[in-house]
Amino acid sequence: MTELIRLTDVTKVYQGGITGALNGLSVTIEEGEFTAIMGPSGSGKSTMLNLVAGLDRPTSGDVVVGDTDLGKLGEAGLARFRRDHIGFVFQFFYLLPNLTALENVLIPAQLKGIVAPGRALELLDRLGIKDIANSYPARLSGGQQQRVAIARALINNPTMLLADEPTGALDTHTGDQVMELLGQLHRDGQTILLVTHDAKLATRHAARVLSVMDGKIVDDARLESPERAPSEMIRVRSEEASR
Amino acid sequence: MTAVLVKAMRDLRRRRLQAAVIFVTTLFAVGTGAMALMLISQPSDPYKAAFDAQKGAHLQVGFDSSIDPGTLTRTPSLIGATAFGGPYPATGIQFRSGGHKYAVTAYGRGNPNGDVEQLRISAGHWPAAGSEIAIALSYANLNHISVGDKLKVVSVPAQPVLTVVALVVDIDEVRADVGGGRAWVLGSAIAPLTVKDSSFLMMDYRFNGDPAGAQLQAATDTLRASLPPGSITNSTSYLLLRSVFNVPDQVLTGVLTAFSLLALAATAAIVANLVTGIVISSYREIGIMKAVGFTPLQVVGVFVLQILVPAAAACVIGIPAGTILSQPLLANSSSALGLAYQATYSPALDVLALVGALLIVSIAALIPALRAGLLKPAVVIANATAPRGQSGRWLRRLASRVGLPRSISLGLGDAVSRPVRALLTVIAIFVGVATMVVALGETRSFASIYGYEGHVGHVDVAVKKSPALADAEATQLFASQPETERVVAQTTANITVPGIADPVSSDIFRGDSSSLGYLVTAGRWIQAPGDVVAPRGLVQDAHLKLGDTFTGTFQGVTLKLRIVGEVYDFIAGPGGHELMLDWSTVAAVAPDLNPSGYLITLKRGSNVDAYVKRLGAAQPDLLDVQAASSGNTAFLATIGGVLFAIAGLIALIAVAGIFNTVLLSTRERVRETATLKALGMGPRQVIAMVAASAGFLALLGGLAAVPAGVALYRQLFDLLSNLGGDDTPAALYDVFGAWELIAIPLAGVAVAVAAALIPGRWAARTNVVEVLHAE
């Protein structure tokens, strides 16, 4: 498989922080992988995701996605990079309240100058929410909002889909549905990087689980099958995390 | 109370930028208001002070020079005057100095003192010999004449040379820039300067108290009835002189008042907008305040107080600044009267300005603050943030449909997502743009009046003739010039009109006077003997209707006159008491009437300068030849400068308003902006989104402001015309180019976009991670 993401000796120290959010982290992720990043709060998993998305810059080290060294891009370049390569799904959806579901989905395409209502409707249909295309976010359930957010993330055919706790604001049943969706997308060839607390969800759908603690990867488990049970190490780590 | 104060002051410290916006806008508004108040009230009326100090004449009457002076000295008792001056022999003279020619009325007078019309010598000494002359200060200032200058009198064949020995302030003459021009020589020196048909005897009368117009008219009527017909050649009341003196201040006061009200309106809109924004962004805090025991009134107090503190600080600086800035304008009036100006201020006015400004700001802040007071604590704590503005969807969709980039359509939607905020911002912009339109219009109109009165565009050359030169000789000279296309001869004389106390100054034209470009606001221009036109003021005051026939008296002879039209003539002075008529109307009763000047139109393509030089060289002493011009526009420059300075301040208030709105909106929408950035919106697109929002509101305000500004400009222009007893002709309104009326709102959009760039850049630099993490 082709290497898609490479983080080399990456550190990230927030202003005023005594210890770093990331401390010399190095990892590569290949195209088509469904990778879950797990770890306790403050471990650095969201920071890692933000660096890959070009939303934040490392204090030191290199972040390379495809052929692009993100450290060499300016603000405008990073915006273009996100627009062209990244689909981002947030824990709290972050739909724009003034736009309908369809308009929210269309936003990234429109920012690229593309008119893609057909594809947007197709995505909504694929995610089972075509009927709420003209509804505003305030009128949608959490699950519907997250599906809209996923459709929005996919509208530009991103190189990778980044999901930061996508089920964190949903009930268990809806969360399962959302994860099923991500799993289906992965099976269709989409590279996915998922940040989650939930080991069960991670191991059920991801083929690789990175465990992060104190800004370092402490475990890199490649699962034979997405449906496989968690390895002993993952179980231990997730228990530690939950404690 | 302490808790309210502490909370308000802490909030104020946290919201320094908003406090600065309030401070700056209130400062500009209250400064302008203080200036207007000072001019309106004039704590010490310089004219009254000078009039009392110099024992000004309540009534000045010019009598035919053939009347026995002894008879005139008995007239004061006839009309109940308590004091009098004169009779002073007077004559119109023309003189040359430094290559220029001038015309004044010279009075023979032994000394500057007396019971009435005491003259104040501001430089030099009173004439002591027949070769010395004193000149009115305002005339000398206008024409750059100084003590020691030699004046060659060209209106009499002997052409004596007089030395200027004094500059004199006379409270009983109109200012030089509106037609005044007086000089004094010894009584024994007036005879050699006297010109036939322009000599008269002047009497000054003073009454008890401040006589009203009716009393003075009755006095004039009594004089007229007791003397042979035609004895009174002219008369002037102090009421007329005072109103002429006050015209510039009245114009300035009117404009300043209008502008300061506009500035306060803009400030109120900005304050209301600001407080609305603070309330919206403080939902959780409001809930917490209520939860810990703040009453609704105390919550309101916290919000109002944090606005009042910077507003009060602005008043503390703005009111004295406005008072100080008004001093040069007040001093200008005093210096015109030769008075030493003493800086004046009125504590009562300052308190009025302070209370007024704080009241307006308080009311503007109170309305949105009441909303905060009425919010339910449980609801606001639970929701944490105010409901997002949901308006503007239609606009966003419309913009998308017409193919505007998404960042622009999002910005347009944001602009109106909170309608009240949008409305308040539009009001601020509306006021700024409207004020600019008014300032531009008024300045242009003043310029057009000056051009109109100078017949610019209708006449190429204006010639003043010395009485020493025969009319036939001058006419022959003009006719011999190949470029001469048309000559209209002109002279001025007084005609008595029934119902009007003072003899009416009348312009008498010989030739095609319709070509002079006078604008007729009702009826038609003079066409036949007996036809007269006059400003609306005279028609009204004489209780005439167009088409009415009346009997006028000219040089003691009655004339049958018919009013056929109303003409615009601003320099006719307050009340518009003036007549215009054709030479043929008076030719029969005054066959030796002599033109005092000529208005010449040249053939197309002629060289005006060459013509002026050639004509001037032909009669260097007896003809004053000038290219037609707007004349001295110093007054215009002052008014224009003040207008644009204030309009600039109000425009700055409007800019502060748009800046404030954009700032509030970008802060309120920081999460949405961060989300859009996460989705790939670039910095330029973020800035474009914010700028589109500001630009759209500016466009709305500008589009509404242009017709409103034009309407307000017309109102103010009408007010000005009314001061001159005129109706404004439609043609004088036409001072804006179509492109300007388009460019002005577009300029407003450009300024608004520029003002939005700073908050736009802040939005573009939004740290996505921090914002979304904080959420």
Q: Residue A55 is part of a domain; what is its CATH number? A: 3.40.50.300
Contact A111 B407 (CB under 8 A): yes
Interface of B with A in 191-250 (CB under 8 A): none
HSE-up of B41 (CA within 13 Å, CB side)?
18
CB contact (8 A) between residue B681 and residue A92: no
User: Any CB–CB contact under 8 A between A134 and chain B?
Assistant: no
Chain A contact for B669 (CB, 8 A cutoff) = no
Query: What's the ipTM?
Result: 0.72
Give dist(CA B479, CA B492) in Å, integer: 23
Query: For residue B376, how many other CB atoms are within 10 A of its CB?
Result: 11
Confirm whether A241 is domain-assigned.
no
The pLDDT, as a whole number, for residue A230 is 44
Mean pLDDT of chain A: 84
User: What's the mean pLDDT when you consider all of chain B?
Assistant: 84
B312, pLDDT greater than 90: yes
Cα A204 from Cα A230, distance rounded (Å): 8
pLDDT above 60 (res B633): no
A219 part of a folded domain: yes
Q: Which of B680, B683, B765 is opposite residue A111, by nearest beta carbon?
A: B680
**Mutate which of A48, A83, A110, A161 to test chain B, going by most B C-beta atoms within 10 A?**
A110
The greatest distance separating any two alpha carbons of chain A, rounded to the nearest whole angstrom, comes to 50
pLDDT (mean) for B37-56? 76
Partners of residue B407 in chain A, C-beta under 8 Å: 111
Q: Which chain B residues contact residue A136 at CB under 8 A? A: 390
A145 in a structural domain: yes
Greatest mean pLDDT among A19-28, A204-213, B190-199, B269-278 lies in: A204-213
Chain B residues closer than 8 Å to A46 by CB: 773
Of B388, B392, B681, the CB nearest to A111: B681
Question: Based on the structure, what is the number of domains in chain A?
Answer: 1
pTM of the model: 0.72
**What was the pLDDT predicted at A149?**
92
CB contacts, 8 Å: A75 with chain B: 682-683, 764-765
Asked if B676 reaches chain A (Cβ–Cβ under 8 Å), the answer is yes
CB B61 within 8 A of CB B223: yes
Give the whole-angstrom CA distance, residue B459 versus residue B600: 6
Q: Are B354 and B33 in contact (CB under 8 A)?
A: no
Question: Three-state SS for A24?
Answer: strand
Please list every residue in chain B whose beta carbon sits closer than 8 Å to the beta carbon of residue A50.
768-769
CB B556, CB B482: distance < 8 Å: no
Query: Has residue A200 been placed in a domain?
Result: yes
Pick from B400, B682, B775: CB nearest A79: B682
**Do A96 and B396 make contact, defined as CB atoms within 8 angstroms?**
no
Chain B interface includes A50 (CB < 8 A) = yes
Give yes or no for B764 touching A (CB within 8 A): yes
A239 inside domain: no
**Residue A236 falls inside a structural domain:** no
The total number of residues written for chain B in this structure: 775
Q: Which of A88, A136, A156 lies closest to B678 in CB terms?
A: A88
In terms of residue numbers, what domain contains A114?
A: 3-224
Q: What count of other Cβ atoms lies within 10 Å of the Cβ of residue B348?
A: 11
Strand arrangement, sheet containing A191-196: A86-89, A160-164, A191-196, A34-38, A208-213, A216-222
Q: d(Cα B126, Cα B114) in Å, to the nearest integer?
A: 14
Asked whether residue A230 is domain-assigned, the answer is no
Residue A8: inside a domain, yes or no?
yes
Coil, helix or strand at residue A176: helix
Rounded CA separation B493/B505 (Å): 6
- pLDDT at residue B627 is higher than 60: yes
Give the model's pLDDT for residue B261: 80
3-state secondary structure of B27: helix
B21 CA to centre of own chain: 30
Rounded distance, CA B257 to CA B35, Å?
9
The nearest alpha carbon in chain B to A103 belongs to B397
Contact list in A for residue B671 (CB cut-off 8 A) is 94
Question: Is A45 in the B-facing interface, judged by CB distances under 8 Å?
Answer: no
Residue that wins the pLDDT comparison between B50 and A190 = A190
Give residue-wise pLDDT tens across range B358-395: 998 899 888 888 888 877 666 666 565 555 556 677 78
Best mutation target, A111, A114, A150, A161, to test chain B (most B CBs within 10 A)? A111
> Residue B679 and residue A46: Cβ atoms within 8 Å?
no
Q: Nearest CA to CA, how far is B6 from chain A (Å)? A: 30
